[in-house]
Amino acid sequence: MTIVAGAGVGGGSLIYASIFREAPASIFTAPWPQEITKAELQPYYNKVADMLELQVLPPGQWNPRVRLIKEGAEKIGAGDRFATVPQAIAFRKDLKLDPANPPTEADSVEHVNKYGARQGTCIHAGICDFGCPVKAKNTLDVNYLFIAQKKGAELRPLHIVNRIESQGAGYRVYFDRLENGRRIGGSEDASRVILAAGSMGSTELLLRCRDQYKTLPNVSRFLGKNWSSNGDLLTTAFYKDRMLYPYVGPNINSAIDFGDRSRDGQAFGIEDGGMPNLLFKHLESAKAVNAPAASHHPFQRLIAWLQKEVQKENPLPHLMPWFANGIDAGNGEYQLKRPWYFFGRKRLHLHWDITKSLPVFEAQIKTHVELSEKTGGRALVFPWWKDTLVSPHSLGGCNMGNNAQTGVVDHRGQVFGYENLYVIDGSTVATPIGLNPVHTIAAMAERAAAIMIAKPPAGSA
């Protein structure tokens, strides 16, 4: 399993495709805490939508992939399940897209958003997952963090937190500051500490505090359990006589929803995907100079196989990346383990067995193949797909629960047994969601913040 994650100011917003979808009410049953329901989260879903100025892709800017997935949905009898999806992107409403001649940076309209941050409008650069050259993506640095700084918050990039320990009524946080190639140690005391380092980061930090440094020894034994890939899957299709330009437009724009388990009893959704030409160019450049990046990059094997399958020097314009999210088994587990030779520092290890999740992945592939065939394409199912899965939606590890026997944090995100120590990120999501999870994570964060504001810790400013 390859996990894609953001590390920087703004976290996962640096690499996400800006897709915001609300989870259905059916998700929030046990093992979710009883306080977390769709009705409870709805006001916070709404607040996030307003904060991030969500909108859908304007009709005049539909790229060929959006038209293809709509056509596919209709041809497999699922036309009523197709919809464009809300995006945290600033669009220029009067722009008309010609995918053969996409907009340039000169077509982006610079403006000041409602918080006072400068942004541009989308030019369909196709690299949302890598960053936006005109800042049309509503990443956290132009909204939430921008507002926080104006209210006095201090952002400290290039800091790595090592451990947390109890200090009287609060906590001491130890960190290294990266400066000129050196690590400079430091610490801060706080009456309340919030971890928001994602599924891998928050889980590893608490594992080290509990098991390595023994500074938080009473963290739940449930820590690390019930990790989920959120059923993420990619199947590429080739259309010999159709130009799809997967490198033009936002990386994802629309979806077909099968969350009601109407196909093979599995809950999942299909999305139109993007494939940045930046990735192809980087790999081809590395290959030309015999650089290690070409032979060791996780996608090199897939790209080489695609080129061989279609026997075309540049198949990229003819490719349709069919994406999928689904309800997988959610049974992975993070552990701290030494390498196989038993020496060296313990590293974060993910134990994940695909066996119980195979039904949802197989249903997704079956649907991808059907969509491809019904629209005149050929699905290229990578023979080794089980060994090359990629998840940009890593969930769990510090799961919410009703108590320390069923979770690591409560419905507010507070760590069981440690008052005013919180985890608020994707690691607390109790089950796979089966669609892009960022809206749910953000809504849970808004709710937790509202609860904290109502009850600040003793002695805090």
pLDDT, tens digit (0-9, with 9 covering 90-100), for 355-364: 999 999 999 9
| Domain definitions of the chain by residue range | 2-454
What is the pLDDT at residue 316? 86
With vertex at residue 242, the alpha carbon angle to CA 239 and CA 244, rounded to the nearest 5 degrees, is 90
In the predicted structure, residue 111 carries a pLDDT above the cut 80: yes
In the predicted structure, residue 317 carries a pLDDT above the cut 60: yes
What is the pLDDT at residue 237? 95
Least confident of 175-189, 383-397, 425-439: 383-397
How would residue 384 be classed by pLDDT, with cut points 50, 70 and 90? confident
In the predicted structure, residue 294 carries a pLDDT above the cut 90: no
d(CA 397, CA 199): 6
State the distance between the two ends of the chain, measured CA to CA, in whole angstroms.
43
CA–CA distance from 417 to each of 218, 219, 414 (Å)?
7, 7, 9
pLDDT tens, residue by residue, 403-433: 999 999 999 999 999 999 999 999 999 999 9
d(CA 293, CA 284): 10
In the predicted structure, residue 306 carries a pLDDT above the cut 70: no
Higher pLDDT, 310 or 147: 147
pLDDT tens, residue by residue, 3-12: 988 888 999 9
Q: Quote the percentage of the chain above a pLDDT of 70.
A: 91
Type of residue at 153: A
Higher pLDDT, 460 or 156: 156
User: pTM score, two decimals?
Assistant: 0.93
Tokens of 370: 């059907």
Cβ density class 98-136: b for 16+ within 10 Å, e for less: ebeebbeeeebbeeeeeeebebbbbbbbbbbbeebebbb
d(CA 432, CA 328): 7
What is the pLDDT at residue 165? 97
Give the chain's mean pLDDT: 92
How would residue 284 be classed by pLDDT, with cut points 50, 70 and 90? low
Higher pLDDT, 15 or 67: 67
In the predicted structure, residue 38 carries a pLDDT above the cut 60: yes
What is the pLDDT at residue 308? 73
What is the pLDDT at residue 280? 62
How would residue 290 be classed by pLDDT, with cut points 50, 70 and 90? low
Query: Any idea which residue has 């992975």 for tokens?
Result: 332
Q: Mean pLDDT across the stretch 111-121?
A: 98
In the predicted structure, residue 461 carries a pLDDT above the cut 50: no
d(CA 113, CA 27): 34
Contact status, residue 357 vs residue 329, Cβ threshold 8 Å: yes
Fold of 2-454: FAD/NAD(P)-binding domain (3.50.50)
What is the pLDDT at residue 291? 53
What is the pLDDT at residue 460? 54
How would residue 297 be classed by pLDDT, with cut points 50, 70 and 90? low
Type of residue at 20: F
What is the pLDDT at residue 293? 47
pLDDT tens, residue by residue, 73-97: 999 999 999 999 999 999 999 999 9
Contact status, residue 3 vs residue 394, Cβ threshold 8 Å: yes
How would residue 373 be classed by pLDDT, with cut points 50, 70 and 90? very high
Higher pLDDT, 219 or 299: 219
Q: Mean pLDDT across the stretch 449-461?
A: 79
